[in-house]
Structure 1
Amino acid sequence: MSPLKRVLVVLCSFVTVAALAIGGGILWLWNDAEISTVGKESFDNELSIPPLAKSRVDRDGTRVFDLRMQAGEKEFTNGRKTPTWGFNGDYLGPTLRAERGEKVRVQIKNGLDEASTVHWHGMHLPAKMDGGPHQMVRPGGRWNPHWRVDQPASTLWYHPHPHGATEKHVQRGLAGMFLLDDQQSARLPLPKKYGVDDLPVIVQDVKFDGAKFDHGHEMMRHAGFLGDRTMVNGTLRPYQKVGDELVRLRLLNASTARTYDFGFPDDRSFSLVGTDGGLLEQPARMKRIQLSPGERAEVVVRMEPGEKTVLRSFPQDNYGSAWEQRFSGGDDSFDVLELRAAKQLRASDGLPQRLGKLEVPDGKNPVRGRFFDLKQSGINGRAMKMNRVDETVTRGTTETWTVRNNNGMPHNFHVHDVQFRVLEVNGDAPPPELRGAKDTVFLPSGTTMKLAMRFDGPADPDTPYMYHCHLLAHEDGGMMGQFAVVERGHRAGTPSGEHAGH
């Protein structure tokens, strides 16, 4: 054999071995990517219910809460302490509760060793009180946001929002619910005994490296961090005893990147009664409800005496390509929470036919429309800059925003301060789960949504609100923009690029 032939044979052999190795590696990654806890959870820990936050009422009628961000340790598994962050405790925070029309003030102390913020996700309030990246609180610092609650009863939440570090701060445990009540919801025969038949269900996916959290990103997962198990209200393998025929689950996806499709193994129907911004106009019968990071849903489930059932997240097929489906969590499934009904259940009133009237605009006669193209590199081709206002809106006006994701991977879209109505999904009327008040929506690749929202102020040309992808690795990477609300004929100012804290 000539020397040239020998070289060619060696090269062909090398290429063949390399191709087999690469192909084998891809096959191994593919097979290893799917995660499932279905049928594997022992459900041996009673669900922890976040306590209702203590408050006091000042002489001027303001309801005052105290929150302290602090480091701690929590035994998620007996004998193994995990370093954590929390509000007023080692992990997560208490549930704040206020009524429509009340003035509230939250006295926040930062007991951490780095600056952070507290954002009131879903709350309508002045920009200076929003808790975005312009309202950082330095270590040892204090911040006292205050506002009047002026929106319907709803399930909101609070979490940090430091530019470039939101994912890390939320993963460590800084999150909690903020429930709003009003006279209309109080009159309705809905389950409303907190922690009894009205349950907060804060769902997070986690991964442990020994006793510590593993927050690393895998190379193939464009969505961000995806854990290999779930916990509810900081409880691994949770069960909840149920003593009523109807139980209301206030579902909050507090994960940083994972989207869930909640339902039950026996395919039972449940009633969707509320979305991000409050109650629907009428209950909607569902078998699945898909929630991306930041979204909430209030569902009512009927239980039979002595039965057990499991809240499960099922595989989803709308993430984009097969690659994204596999590596961004679409193929994954989780057993999340076991419900255990007592042998005798208290009778529950039937759900009302009508729940209320939506207070979000119907999209008629908007003053203008805007377009937002979602890409991991930025929105409308621009990455976030703290000192740049991207959009200026006029106080008291209604607009339609068209949001598109053709990026080949899942995204979602959250707008601060407002609740909006979904007018269209890919040109069609929205499904029942998107017909309520929303502040966050999931946009799988290939999706375009048209949203209607009204900006009721107050105007503040120098302090912007945010809009962004709530897959927090994407937000931290620059997939975020800023808008300012101004009086008619005025211009936005130039916000400070500083965010080191007060």
Structure 2
Amino acid sequence: MRRRSFLALAGMTAITGATGLALGGCGGAQGNEGTLSLTTPLRIPPVLDPAPGKDGVKRFDLRLRQGRTELLPGKTARTWGINGTHLGPTLRARRGDRVAMTVTNTLDEASTLHWHGMRLPAAMDGGPHQMVEPGATWAPEWTVDQPAATTWYHPHPHGQIGLHVYRGLAGLFLLDDTHDPGLPHTYGVDDIPLIVQDRKFRSDGELDEHFGGTFGPLADDVLINGTYGPYFRVTTTMVRFRVLNGANAHVFTLGFADEREFHVVASDAGLLDRPVAVRRLRISPGERFEIVVAFDPGEEVLLKSFDGDAEIEDGAYDLLRLAAAPRLTPSPGLPARLTSLVPPPPGKRTRTFRLYGTHINKHHMDMTRIDEVVPAGAREVWEVDNITFSHNFHIHEVVFRVLDIDGERPPEHLRGPKDTVYVPGKTKVRLAVEFGRHTDPRTPYMYHCHILKHEDKGMMGQFVIVPPGTENSTPRTLTGAGHTHH
């Protein structure tokens, strides 16, 4: 571990002791640079994009399953998945679609599926209040009403999120709309999903489920779409990669071994104004970025994660070998403009959220407590003040824009629509938050750190969206919290 990270963690001994977290989150991860052959074809998750029924509704049948999967070569591990034994299909829908999910739980314990990045009624959100018991089926339904974006889905059972995601419950949910900026779009050919996750393994190939340290599991074995040591054969001159950090805690700083420039074209909730050229891209758990990379015929290059300056991104990693065919199909040029983002309007109210250990505003999560009441359609500024070690911050249902980081304007690739933001230790981030219009004073949405051990420890709060003018009369206590589906 580098000296800066060591000193940062050494100064946190009293803090972590007070929160019940043991020091040492980064000690198990040192990097895998130069140790992999990268010869396994990258697995591309199958697409689930059902045709609408006679009633115009697209119906998705999803089953939470357990089984065994070969993650390390020649060894199998006990895993969970959706419609398979590990991870889930890539769901696909368009703006305006009416979608209906049938989520059947065949596991031996309760879980949920949360639609991370989706704007929808709170009762359909799949948070800890929508638990699905073993043998039960949950059937949320909503109309997709947001721009094209790379969203995802994962479990959200309070106190067990980290374990359920770690075992394999996760998948992408791609949204399309009528606006076509001219980006690569053929799924599996020049539009490639990359679900990046680190995992610890025992010598027999089983997952090591010991979640010690400040941050939980931080490991040197990295899977992409569940593939160990992957490569992808490039057949076009430009490729769009939809990158999801699906790890429990690991922050990755992406780039290429030859230091080539690439372009960020979208963040969590949709397109940027224009392509932004970068050579490094930091992505924390739960965040998504879409990038476009140019290739020459016959070349090979490594997608890597570089050693960073946070205590949860130590070490360099070889992630994916990209091997270009001798002849490549020409791609259209990268458009100069992608969309027209309107500057966020000034917030009418500012709320402050102080991150301390695994508390937010000195509170741990309470399923019966409503922490914030927000009028429908509100525009607010949320100030996230991290006074301890690394965290990030995710808000359900909303779209936000990063206004500033420690008073400075964010880099251009962080100025687009987002729902999750990395907040390094001793850093203050201000967000311009846009709330939706689905009202429900009895069913909350969540805001929380998306480092899953922190979330499971209680670093989460609840808010409800209510009709304007009813904020003061909305109860702050829920009765019968923790609804389950049988």
Shared fold per TM-score greater than 0.5: yes
The CA distance in 2 between the partners of 1:31 and 1:253, in whole Å, is: 17
Structure 2 residue matching 1:208: 3-state secondary structure: coil
Give the secondary-structure state (helix, strand or coil) at the position aligned to 1:150: coil
Gaps of 5+ in 1: 1-28, 320-324
Could you say if the C-alpha distance between residues 372 and 44 of structure 1 is closer, same or farther in structure 2, counting changes exceeding 3 Å?
Answer: same
Please show how residues 147-166 of structure 1 align to structure 2 within 5 Å.
147-166=142-161
**Contact 1:385/1:497 (CA < 8 Å) preserved in 2?**
no
Which residue does 1:449 correspond to in 2? 429
1:497 aligns with 2:481: yes
Q: Secondary structure at the match of 1:402?
A: strand
Work out whether 1:393 is the aligned partner of 2:387. no
Q: Does 1:101 align with 2:84?
A: no
Identify the residue that residue 255 of structure 2 maps to in structure 1: 263
Give the conservation status (yes or no) of the 8 Å contact 1:137–1:143.
yes
CA–CA distance in 2 between the matches of 1:32 and 1:115?
32
- Is 1:195 the counterpart of 2:177? The answer is no
Q: TM-score, normalised by structure 2?
A: 0.92
Partner AA of 1:215 in structure 2: E
Task: Tell me the TM-score normalised to structure 1 length.
Answer: 0.89
Q: What displacement does 1:497 show?
A: 2.8
After TM superposition, give the deviation of residue 500 of structure 1 in Å: 5.0
Name the CA distance, whole Å, in 2 between partners of 1:98 and 1:403. 32
2:114 paired with 1:119: yes
Q: Whose helix proportion is higher, 1 or 2?
A: 1
- 2:412 aligns with 432
The answer on whether the counterparts of 1:116 and 1:501 sit within 8 Å (CA) in structure 2 is: no
1:212 to 193, 206, 225: 206
Question: 1:57 deviation in Å?
Answer: 1.4
Q: Which amino acid aligns with 1:362?
A: P
State the distance in 1 between where 2:266 and 2:27 align. Answer: 37
- Map Cα deviations across residues 146-177 of structure 1 (whole Å, 9 max, x no partner): 11111110100000000000000000000000
Q: Give 1:5's aligned residue.
A: none
1:373 to 354, 359, 362: 354
Displacement of 1:126 after TM fit?
A: 0.3
Pairing of 1:243-282 with structure 2 (within 5 A): 243-282=235-274
Structure 1 vs Structure 2 CA RMSD: 1.5
Q: Map 1:51-70 to 2 at 5 A.
A: 51-70=46-65
> C-alpha deviations, 1:435-460, integer Å up to 9, x for none?
11010000011111110112222110
- The secondary structure found in structure 1 opposite 2:222 is strand
Partner of 2:449: 469
Task: Structure 2: state its 5+ residue gaps.
Answer: 1-23
1:308 aligns with 2:291: no
1:49 is aligned to 2:44: yes
> Is contact 1:55–1:66 with CA below 8 Å preserved after alignment?
no
**Aligned-partner residue type, residue 406 of structure 1:** I
Shift of 1:60: 2.1
User: Which amino acid in the other structure matches residue 181 of structure 2?
Assistant: L
| Percent of aligned pairs with the same amino acid | 49
What is the CA–CA distance in structure 2 between the aligned matches of 1:299 and 1:498, rounded to whole Å? 39
2:4 — aligned with what? none
3-state SS of the aligned residue for 1:250?
A: strand
1:331 partnered with 2:314: yes
Residues 49-75 of structure 1: CA deviation (Å, up to 9, x unaligned): 000015241222111111000101111
Please give the alpha-carbon distance, in whole angstroms, between the structure 2 residues aligned to 1:228 and 1:214: 12
How far apart, in 2, do the equivalents of 1:382 and 1:433 lie? 32
Cα drift, residue 108 of structure 1: 0.8
Q: Please say if residues 484 and 492 of structure 1, whose CA atoms lie closer than 8 Å, have aligned partners that are also in contact.
A: no
Give the Å deviation of 1:34: 5.1
1:353 aligns to 2:336 (yes or no): yes
After TM superposition, what 4+ stretches of structure 1 lie above 4 angstroms from structure 2?
29-34
1:31 shift after superposition: 11
**1:6 corresponding residue in structure 2:** none
* Mean Cα deviation higher: 286-295 or 369-378: 369-378
The count of aligned residue pairs is 458
